Chains A and B, each alone.
Chain A
């Protein structure tokens, strides 16, 4: 019975449209292109926004560095070599304390986002050129 029932099912099989595999492939190509395009625009936008964001953040960092006296402490390192060498540990601690941490974190975060978005944008551009559209 087993084999006979297999024969029955085989005999009554549906005949698919011969174009179906090509249509499926084209649908995948189209979907791939669409996903690539969306990712490309999204990462480009993130990159542009991070560049725009970097301008005020750099200004803020520069102001904070000036206000905290970081530049003065740093110039001390070049003017009195001997003294700094003697108390180098205290000097480094002082220099670190004068750093505007929040501004630095914000700047580095934006730079990181910029590089990641740049990398992803390039990846999407390359992928777009080597995409499924043969």
Chain B
């Protein structure tokens, strides 16, 4: 059967007019003039300001909450606590979710919400918070995940039992889940190895670091309808979860999205939004809640920290024969780290036959983790790719040749049971070998590191509509979110399919009441999935216009062909007719069959796995331990770059986020279980002067399951970064770090240790 790509008439020399060019994004002018409306930018008449009171304790029983003094303060219109949220049993997904939004029996982390206020001004709301009296019974806490696994550790949830492979005893624990992945025979594999390396690694949680704090306005009516405006990576997912925790029909909840000021996974979950709804229900007035940066750090995100033991073996001719690992991921106070991704992806890109991975997800007194670009993958690839480079050195091979020798290709069946179709890992490695950066000698005094990375890419529930106006211009209705330009990329695919100039096409967001279900915009799925849906919608519109052209000419439908935006007779025997444009047909809607539109809902499958290779040169100041990133190149297979500048932007942005995580970013807790660095001053993300230009090489090995061959480009660029920087530092100082972040004090210790 021909692939979707072949059915779409794809060939390497197909001339594309729009796809592959770099037009200005349609949401751009509003964003350079200050007109674009983000989560905190909506101002509604009669609006109240909501503020949330948060626990200062990492673990405590909430014995009582006295809100009477706050309620009596002039300007306070409502106070809400756990009493205002429906009871949902503990230990269920929605039970955890509602307890993370507003504590019930206990608080589980520094910053856990315990009450909230709506008042006529922000300053009154802040004053009111200070008048709420909460009586706590403080409990012992545990921050570190490995400590939380010990028998004597304080237990967060006494009902919790380890799920997963069924090996856990029936007793209280902080180990949420244990999963095992196994393929082949690891023992046999290691027996064949000439070189075996086994090491331990650790990483700290980092924050997604979006510059826009969560912001929303909720408005509830007397008959129970809820209107929520917010910054989100998934309006429908928010709606359905709100429906579950507020026990309200989804049809009574309308979620509209603002422009989103960065998400990176962190806006796939809600925080203040349900609280704003409850406060609006109590006051019947719109309530705005915007989190502060302190709240964003203490209570949203972060990314799971991890510990790993990794063992790999290779033969002296350069074949990796076995890989084994034991992983521990923090999930924070509640389950939900997606650690299965880490276990599945850590070795995937090499054609290994023998793999064994055991992974644990562990609760501790930290905020519940959230998704971040390739959730749970970069922090374990940090270790794997370090060992791969060391094995290459032991074997005496160039690190890229060693990776090429072991690279997975079409037909390889992964440890999680998926057999790869056409993938671009080999092409990516070859492009890396050929690029100027890799061919240039390492400058004196610097170290160079390389690392490969993989992400599944995703599909899933997606709905979209496309309508053709009587003048032939086109509107696209999307229910996905736009993190960095998907509205434009999807419009470009529609313009290409319809053969109309891009300027005739505009894509807008629909709220949850205006379009069917869409999964969260995450996992590098949106341009791929929504692109599929809109190309399909465009084809429906073309089919309908073909029927109408046939009717106008009074010929059979197969007598009409569509090419370059025009309907023409399919052959000389059909008759002589002037071509009809889309506008020609669309202008006759009132005299023919009504409006022209296409609408598609799909559970999109066929995502194409993504592979990347990063090359980085660093200089390490041996007196201070400071790392200077001198040169950085990202090589990655996009499948097809719809808008190359936007693809480059994804590569560059992912790399620099990874540089931050590699060198500086971490959550620092005190003995008291409180977060010590909840500000951009103490949690230091990369600034412009920290990094060089980031070079990019876009490889294009088309995904056969997409009409334009695209894969997805958002996640892969962060995956290899930590390991690439680690390997570069290792080559610069002679010892490869095993602990993230590779901050000056840690590097100084390594440098001093190596020197003594």
Does chain A bind chain B?
A: no
